[in-house]
Amino acid sequence: MTSLKDLKKHLRMEALGRRDALDPAWRIEASLAMAEHAPAIDLSHGPVVSGFLPIRSEVDLRPLMAALADRGARLCLPVVLDRETIVFRELVHGVEMVSTGFGTSGPGPEAAVLDPDVMLVPLAAFDRRGHRLGYGAGHYDRAIARLHDKGRKPHLVGIAFDCQEVERVPDEPHDVMLAEMLTESGLRSFPSAG
């Protein structure tokens, strides 16, 4: 019998393999297409939006983040503090970017730390129910749990390419569902994520 951990690892590897196989020029076009859906992202939850800069074959969110900033969003990026913790530092025009762990870059320690109202969440795989499969380190799960502990409930928008959708992400009772999912096909809502 396959363990839950092994099943998740298998789904993660398959979905990321499909993403890695996408033509790099097509990924750029798909990322630009996603930016066209910026008006559909609800900023009524609050103005602070956490994004991320692409690593490996991820969606490039810079055009989408710029479009959200044009709508008045205050942007921040995740920064890995240690193996367990990420914080979100404010991204402002002209800020110096530094290495922030796991092949990522972001604002340095002088940047303000913000609590996001809307989180654009990277992922390895997702399903049509609104469940996500992360990269396996649990950074976002812990960051979301810390925000919940502070009485905050960020609006979670998963970010991926359509090819990362799987039939079913194995879920556990503690898993937090996505409110929405943005792919090159558009923005989908998951009402049961409530």
The model carries a pTM of 0.94
Please report, in tens digits, the pLDDT of each residue of the chain (194 residues total).
Answer: 678 889 999 999 999 999 999 999 999 999 999 999 999 999 999 999 999 999 999 999 999 999 999 999 999 999 988 877 889 999 998 888 888 766 788 899 999 999 999 999 999 999 999 999 999 888 899 999 999 999 999 999 999 999 999 999 998 877 889 999 999 999 999 976 55
C-alpha closest to that of 92 among 78, 70, 75: 75
pLDDT at 111: 94
pLDDT at 101: 67
Q: How far is CA 189 from CA 2, 39, 40, 138, in A?
A: 31, 14, 11, 23
Residue-range domains of the chain with CATH: 4-193 (3.40.50.10420)
Number of other residues whose CB lies within 10 A of the CB of residue 147: 17
